[in-house]
Amino acid sequence: NAGVMQNPRHLVRRRGQEARLRCSPMKGHSHVYWYRQLPEEGLKFMVYLQKENIIDESGMPKERFSAEFPKEGPSILRIQQVVRGDSAAYFCASSPTTSSGEQYFGPGTRLTVT
């Protein structure tokens, strides 16, 4: 059973470009979570999605950031008009349910904005 897949692993964007980060959850998992880790900091929750629904986006910046988890295909975290402060590692996690509290993390995407 493959783990959580994230791609790309490294992404370089110039200021003002768009960044698209993809996350394929583990097989059978319908819950996806995105976290951001700024340099030298811990992970911060961004958004929780189930198939076709955003359940909790309380950690998402109000502007330029969006997330989706379509019926088919991976979850996408989209950052429009990136700025240097968006440079971070973005981790995706998935779970089969929420009641166990357990989340399985992907390897992360390291975004660098130049």
Query: Quick count: other Cβ atoms within 10 Å of Cβ 61?
Result: 13
State the DSSP string of 9-75.
SEEEE-TT--EEEEEEPPTT--EEEEEEE-TTS-EEEEEEEETTEEEE-TTS-SSSEEEE--SSS-E
Distance in Å, CB of 101 to another protein, minimum: 4
CB of 58 or CB of 72, closer to another protein: 58
Distance in Å, CB of 112 to another protein, minimum: 13
CB of 16 or CB of 61, closer to another protein: 61
CB of 72 or CB of 101, closer to another protein: 101
Distance in Å, CB of 81 to another protein, minimum: 26
